[in-house]
Amino acid sequence: MIRLQQIDKYFGDSHVLKGVDLTLTEGSVTALIGPSGSGKSTLLRCVNLLEWPQSGSLQIGEESLTFGTDPKQQRQAAQRLRRLTGMVFQNFQLFPHLTVVANVMEGLITVLKWDKERAHARAMELLSKVGMAHKAEVWPATLSGGQQQRVAIARALAPSPKVLLCDEPTSALDPELAVEVVDVLKQLAKEGTTMLMATHDLKLAASTAHQVVFLEHGSIVESGEARQVFTQPRHPRTRDYVSTLAGE
Protein backbone atom coordinates (compact mmCIF):
# COMPACT_ATOMS: atom_id res chain seq x y z
CA MET A 1 0.00 0.00 0.00
CA ILE A 2 1.12 3.57 -0.78
CA ARG A 3 -0.51 6.33 1.24
CA LEU A 4 -0.04 10.09 1.20
CA GLN A 5 -1.82 12.08 3.89
CA GLN A 6 -2.30 15.85 4.09
CA ILE A 7 0.61 16.61 1.76
CA ASP A 8 1.44 20.31 1.55
CA LYS A 9 4.14 21.57 -0.79
CA TYR A 10 5.27 25.15 -1.31
CA PHE A 11 7.69 26.68 -3.79
CA GLY A 12 8.42 29.99 -2.12
CA ASP A 13 5.04 31.66 -1.61
CA SER A 14 3.32 29.38 -4.13
CA HIS A 15 1.19 26.68 -2.46
CA VAL A 16 1.36 23.94 -5.11
CA LEU A 17 -0.09 21.01 -3.14
CA LYS A 18 -2.83 21.64 -0.60
CA GLY A 19 -3.54 18.89 1.90
CA VAL A 20 -3.52 16.08 -0.66
CA ASP A 21 -4.68 12.62 0.48
CA LEU A 22 -4.10 9.67 -1.82
CA THR A 23 -4.06 5.90 -1.33
CA LEU A 24 -2.85 3.31 -3.85
CA THR A 25 -3.59 -0.34 -3.26
CA GLU A 26 -1.03 -2.93 -4.29
CA GLY A 27 -1.37 -3.93 -7.94
CA SER A 28 -3.43 -0.88 -8.89
CA VAL A 29 -2.76 1.77 -11.53
CA THR A 30 -3.61 5.36 -10.65
CA ALA A 31 -3.55 8.21 -13.16
CA LEU A 32 -3.14 11.83 -12.10
CA ILE A 33 -4.83 14.12 -14.60
CA GLY A 34 -5.41 17.86 -14.69
CA PRO A 35 -4.30 21.05 -16.43
CA SER A 36 -0.68 22.17 -16.54
CA GLY A 37 0.35 23.59 -13.19
CA SER A 38 -2.21 21.55 -11.26
CA GLY A 39 0.45 19.76 -9.20
CA LYS A 40 0.49 16.35 -10.92
CA SER A 41 4.23 16.06 -11.45
CA THR A 42 5.02 17.66 -8.10
CA LEU A 43 2.86 15.11 -6.31
CA LEU A 44 4.56 12.31 -8.20
CA ARG A 45 7.98 13.67 -7.23
CA CYS A 46 6.92 13.88 -3.60
CA VAL A 47 6.41 10.11 -3.58
CA ASN A 48 10.08 9.42 -4.37
CA LEU A 49 11.21 12.51 -2.46
CA LEU A 50 12.72 14.35 -5.39
CA GLU A 51 10.56 17.06 -3.82
CA TRP A 52 10.27 17.35 -0.04
CA PRO A 53 6.80 18.35 1.24
CA GLN A 54 6.55 20.88 4.06
CA SER A 55 3.96 18.80 5.92
CA GLY A 56 2.02 15.56 5.78
CA SER A 57 3.13 11.93 5.70
CA LEU A 58 4.11 9.24 3.22
CA GLN A 59 3.89 5.47 3.63
CA ILE A 60 5.10 2.84 1.17
CA GLY A 61 4.69 -0.70 2.43
CA GLU A 62 6.15 -0.85 5.92
CA GLU A 63 8.23 2.32 5.53
CA SER A 64 6.85 5.71 6.48
CA LEU A 65 7.95 9.30 6.91
CA THR A 66 6.34 12.35 8.51
CA PHE A 67 7.33 15.69 7.04
CA GLY A 68 7.82 18.99 8.81
CA THR A 69 11.28 18.38 10.19
CA ASP A 70 14.78 18.85 8.77
CA PRO A 71 15.24 16.45 5.80
CA LYS A 72 18.84 15.83 6.91
CA GLN A 73 17.54 14.27 10.13
CA GLN A 74 15.40 11.84 8.13
CA ARG A 75 17.96 10.91 5.49
CA GLN A 76 18.03 7.18 6.24
CA ALA A 77 14.24 6.86 6.18
CA ALA A 78 14.17 8.83 2.94
CA GLN A 79 16.74 6.54 1.33
CA ARG A 80 14.72 3.47 2.29
CA LEU A 81 11.58 4.98 0.77
CA ARG A 82 13.34 6.00 -2.44
CA ARG A 83 14.52 2.43 -2.94
CA LEU A 84 10.88 1.32 -3.00
CA THR A 85 10.10 3.50 -6.04
CA GLY A 86 11.10 3.43 -9.69
CA MET A 87 10.84 6.59 -11.81
CA VAL A 88 10.16 6.97 -15.53
CA PHE A 89 10.82 10.53 -16.68
CA GLN A 90 9.22 12.44 -19.54
CA ASN A 91 12.56 12.91 -21.33
CA PHE A 92 13.95 9.41 -20.64
CA GLN A 93 17.10 10.48 -18.68
CA LEU A 94 19.23 7.61 -19.98
CA PHE A 95 22.99 7.84 -19.49
CA PRO A 96 24.36 8.65 -22.96
CA HIS A 97 27.80 7.16 -22.24
CA LEU A 98 26.39 3.73 -21.31
CA THR A 99 24.92 1.08 -23.56
CA VAL A 100 21.28 0.11 -23.20
CA VAL A 101 22.02 -2.91 -21.00
CA ALA A 102 24.53 -0.94 -18.91
CA ASN A 103 21.87 1.72 -18.28
CA VAL A 104 19.57 -0.91 -16.80
CA MET A 105 22.40 -2.50 -14.81
CA GLU A 106 23.80 0.72 -13.35
CA GLY A 107 21.51 1.10 -10.34
CA LEU A 108 21.73 -2.59 -9.46
CA ILE A 109 25.53 -2.45 -9.36
CA THR A 110 26.07 1.02 -7.89
CA VAL A 111 23.21 1.22 -5.39
CA LEU A 112 22.27 -2.37 -4.59
CA LYS A 113 25.83 -3.72 -4.98
CA TRP A 114 24.84 -6.64 -7.19
CA ASP A 115 27.64 -8.41 -9.04
CA LYS A 116 27.80 -7.77 -12.78
CA GLU A 117 26.66 -11.24 -13.82
CA ARG A 118 23.51 -11.09 -11.73
CA ALA A 119 22.79 -7.50 -12.80
CA HIS A 120 23.27 -8.39 -16.47
CA ALA A 121 20.84 -11.30 -16.21
CA ARG A 122 18.21 -9.08 -14.57
CA ALA A 123 18.73 -6.34 -17.15
CA MET A 124 18.33 -8.73 -20.08
CA GLU A 125 15.19 -10.20 -18.50
CA LEU A 126 13.62 -6.74 -18.32
CA LEU A 127 14.80 -5.65 -21.76
CA SER A 128 13.10 -8.76 -23.13
CA LYS A 129 9.91 -7.80 -21.26
CA VAL A 130 9.82 -4.38 -22.94
CA GLY A 131 10.90 -5.71 -26.35
CA MET A 132 14.38 -4.18 -26.33
CA ALA A 133 16.74 -7.15 -25.79
CA HIS A 134 17.93 -6.91 -29.40
CA LYS A 135 19.21 -3.39 -28.68
CA ALA A 136 21.10 -4.29 -25.49
CA GLU A 137 24.57 -3.30 -26.74
CA VAL A 138 23.72 -0.09 -28.62
CA TRP A 139 23.98 3.51 -27.43
CA PRO A 140 20.83 5.39 -26.39
CA ALA A 141 21.43 8.05 -29.06
CA THR A 142 20.79 5.48 -31.79
CA LEU A 143 17.29 4.69 -30.48
CA SER A 144 13.96 6.29 -31.26
CA GLY A 145 12.13 8.12 -28.49
CA GLY A 146 9.75 5.21 -27.95
CA GLN A 147 12.65 2.79 -27.70
CA GLN A 148 14.46 5.02 -25.21
CA GLN A 149 11.35 5.23 -23.04
CA ARG A 150 10.99 1.45 -23.05
CA VAL A 151 14.60 1.16 -21.88
CA ALA A 152 13.84 3.75 -19.19
CA ILE A 153 10.91 1.61 -18.00
CA ALA A 154 13.16 -1.45 -17.83
CA ARG A 155 15.69 0.53 -15.80
CA ALA A 156 13.01 1.74 -13.38
CA LEU A 157 11.76 -1.84 -12.89
CA ALA A 158 15.23 -3.29 -12.31
CA PRO A 159 15.29 -3.10 -8.48
CA SER A 160 11.70 -4.46 -8.22
CA PRO A 161 10.16 -1.29 -6.78
CA LYS A 162 6.92 -1.27 -4.80
CA VAL A 163 5.56 1.41 -7.13
CA LEU A 164 6.46 2.56 -10.63
CA LEU A 165 6.15 6.33 -11.03
CA CYS A 166 5.62 7.64 -14.57
CA ASP A 167 5.87 11.38 -15.24
CA GLU A 168 4.17 12.12 -18.58
CA PRO A 169 5.62 8.91 -20.09
CA THR A 170 4.29 9.56 -23.62
CA SER A 171 4.18 13.35 -23.92
CA ALA A 172 7.61 13.67 -25.57
CA LEU A 173 6.71 11.13 -28.25
CA ASP A 174 4.81 11.38 -31.50
CA PRO A 175 1.63 9.24 -31.61
CA GLU A 176 3.20 6.29 -33.45
CA LEU A 177 6.08 6.01 -30.99
CA ALA A 178 3.78 6.55 -28.01
CA VAL A 179 1.90 3.37 -28.93
CA GLU A 180 5.03 1.32 -28.15
CA VAL A 181 5.20 2.75 -24.65
CA VAL A 182 1.46 2.48 -24.01
CA ASP A 183 1.55 -1.22 -24.93
CA VAL A 184 4.33 -1.82 -22.38
CA LEU A 185 2.46 0.06 -19.65
CA LYS A 186 -0.74 -1.86 -20.38
CA GLN A 187 1.14 -5.15 -20.10
CA LEU A 188 2.68 -4.11 -16.79
CA ALA A 189 -0.78 -3.16 -15.54
CA LYS A 190 -2.12 -6.61 -16.51
CA GLU A 191 0.77 -8.18 -14.59
CA GLY A 192 -0.20 -6.31 -11.43
CA THR A 193 2.53 -3.68 -11.32
CA THR A 194 1.56 -0.87 -8.95
CA MET A 195 1.78 2.36 -10.93
CA LEU A 196 1.19 6.05 -10.36
CA MET A 197 1.36 8.18 -13.49
CA ALA A 198 0.96 11.87 -14.21
CA THR A 199 -0.40 12.30 -17.72
CA HIS A 200 -2.24 14.59 -20.12
CA ASP A 201 -3.00 11.55 -22.28
CA LEU A 202 -6.58 10.70 -21.37
CA LYS A 203 -6.60 7.69 -23.69
CA LEU A 204 -3.65 6.26 -21.76
CA ALA A 205 -5.36 6.97 -18.45
CA ALA A 206 -8.68 5.49 -19.58
CA SER A 207 -7.16 2.33 -21.02
CA THR A 208 -4.62 1.62 -18.28
CA ALA A 209 -5.68 3.12 -14.96
CA HIS A 210 -8.00 1.62 -12.37
CA GLN A 211 -8.26 4.88 -10.44
CA VAL A 212 -8.17 8.44 -11.78
CA VAL A 213 -7.43 11.55 -9.71
CA PHE A 214 -8.26 14.98 -11.15
CA LEU A 215 -6.11 17.75 -9.69
CA GLU A 216 -6.43 21.51 -10.11
CA HIS A 217 -4.64 24.31 -8.28
CA GLY A 218 -2.92 21.78 -6.01
CA SER A 219 -6.11 20.13 -4.73
CA ILE A 220 -7.97 16.96 -5.63
CA VAL A 221 -11.21 17.97 -7.33
CA GLU A 222 -12.44 14.43 -7.94
CA SER A 223 -11.18 10.86 -7.73
CA GLY A 224 -12.70 7.50 -8.43
CA GLU A 225 -12.72 4.51 -10.73
CA ALA A 226 -11.49 5.41 -14.20
CA ARG A 227 -14.74 4.42 -15.89
CA GLN A 228 -16.79 6.60 -13.54
CA VAL A 229 -14.53 9.65 -13.83
CA PHE A 230 -14.47 9.53 -17.62
CA THR A 231 -18.10 8.63 -18.29
CA GLN A 232 -20.00 10.04 -15.31
CA PRO A 233 -17.85 12.65 -13.58
CA ARG A 234 -19.50 14.08 -10.48
CA HIS A 235 -17.85 17.50 -10.50
CA PRO A 236 -18.64 20.02 -13.28
CA ARG A 237 -14.98 21.03 -13.55
CA THR A 238 -13.98 17.41 -14.14
CA ARG A 239 -16.68 17.09 -16.79
CA ASP A 240 -15.42 20.19 -18.61
CA TYR A 241 -11.80 19.06 -18.51
CA VAL A 242 -12.45 15.50 -19.66
CA SER A 243 -14.79 16.63 -22.46
CA THR A 244 -12.32 19.23 -23.75
CA LEU A 245 -9.29 16.96 -23.88
CA ALA A 246 -11.26 14.05 -25.27
CA GLY A 247 -12.46 16.24 -28.12
CA GLU A 248 -16.08 15.63 -27.27
Reduced 3-state DSSP string for 10-31: EECCEEEEEEEEEEECCCCEEE
pTM of the model: 0.91
Q: Which helix (H) or strand (E) holds 80?
A: helix 75-82
**CA atoms of 195 and 193, how far apart (whole Å):** 6
Contact assessment for residue 204 and residue 167, using Cβ atoms and an 8 Å cutoff: no
* Domains defined for the chain, CATH in brackets: 2-84+163-246 (3.40.50.300), 94-160 (no CATH)
Report the pLDDT value the prediction gives residue 75, as an integer from 0 to 100: 85
**CA atoms of 61 and 97, how far apart (whole Å):** 35
**CA atoms of 145 and 244, how far apart (whole Å):** 27
pLDDT tens, N- to C-terminus, the chain (248 residues)? 899 999 999 999 999 999 999 999 999 999 999 999 999 999 999 999 999 999 999 999 999 999 987 777 788 888 899 999 999 998 888 999 999 999 999 999 999 999 999 999 999 999 999 999 999 999 999 999 999 999 999 999 999 999 999 999 888 788 877 888 888 988 898 888 999 999 988 988 988 999 999 999 999 999 999 999 999 999 999 999 998 655 54
Q: What is the DSSP letter of 135?
A: G
